[in-house]
Amino acid sequence: MLRICSLFILMMASAVHAADRLSIEGAARVIDGDTLEVAGTRVRLFGIDAPERSQTCVGPQGDWDCGRWSGEELTRLIGGRTVRCDGVEWDRYERLVARCEAGQGDLGAAMVQGGAAIAYRAYARDYIYPERAARYRRRGVWRNGGDNFTTPAEYRAESRAAQAQPPQRAPAHGACAIKGNVSASGQVYHIPGQRDYERTRIDETRGERWFCTEDEARAAGWRRAAR
């Protein structure tokens, strides 16, 4: 009987400990627009998906660093205040998926309302209406009305596909190493040394091509990639 009682107490203690791990509070360090570290725990904001740090978006004035800006927006919303997170679950990367706030309401909702993130429909539908409002008002990633917008999930998939392929070499006429790429951002060319140069693939069946000079690329209607 004593052994059974001891086992029950241990089980209850474990359950309480697991529940305690789902609620954390403390200083936060922003990693990107939907991920932060709170009191030493990596946290993924529930129900939203923000542009990746290296991601660019299309705007009325051309490509802009929406991924970097998204992280800066989360930092601004937190404003150095203590962050409290109520967990929903642990994901496969051992991050706590949680709703978080820093004294001014749900951080996930605020990020979507400002266009700094989108509703992550694959996992939740909580932020669909705030997203629609942000898109209507052309906030953040929607400043171009959503035209040619690559979602963070699509961007990650494209990056994984590019990394899985061997490096692409320039044509035999070597000097023509500028990549004219057709993507969601339109006709954009990448020069050697730019961040996205190596992962950009040229498919001539899609109208993509190599250029020898930037003047040649611009004359053909391509514009230089932001990075």
pLDDT in tens, 73-91: 999 999 999 999 999 999 9
To the nearest whole percent, how much of the chain has pLDDT over 90?
Answer: 52
From CA 3, how far away is CA 179, in angstroms rounded? 71
Structural domain boundaries in the chain:
21-142, 165-224
Phi, psi dihedrals of residue 45, rounded to the nearest 5°: -65, 130
Residue 198: predicted pLDDT: 82
- Res. 224 pLDDT band, cuts 50 70 90: confident
| Residue range 52-74, pLDDT digits in tens | 999 999 888 888 999 999 999 99
To the nearest whole percent, how much of the chain has pLDDT over 70?
Answer: 85
Fold of 21-142: OB fold (Dihydrolipoamide Acetyltransferase, E2P) (2.40.50)
34 pLDDT above the threshold of 70: yes
Neighbours of 217 (CB within 10 A): 23
Q: What is the pTM of this model?
A: 0.69
From CA 224, how far away is CA 179, in angstroms rounded? 10
Average pLDDT, the chain: 86
Give the C-alpha distances (Å, rounded to integers) separating 86 from 9, 34, 118, 165, 206. Answer: 25, 15, 20, 40, 47
- Res. 8 pLDDT band, cuts 50 70 90: very low
Residue 19: predicted pLDDT: 42
Query: Could you tell me which residues come within 8 angstroms of residue 22 by beta carbon, excluding any fewer than 6 positions away?
Result: 86, 87, 88, 96, 98
CA proximity to 95, closest of 15, 154, 36: 36
Residue 177: predicted pLDDT: 87
- Res. 208 pLDDT band, cuts 50 70 90: confident
| Residue range 100-157, pLDDT digits in tens | 999 889 999 999 999 999 999 999 999 999 999 999 999 999 999 988 899 999 999 8
161 pLDDT above the threshold of 90: no
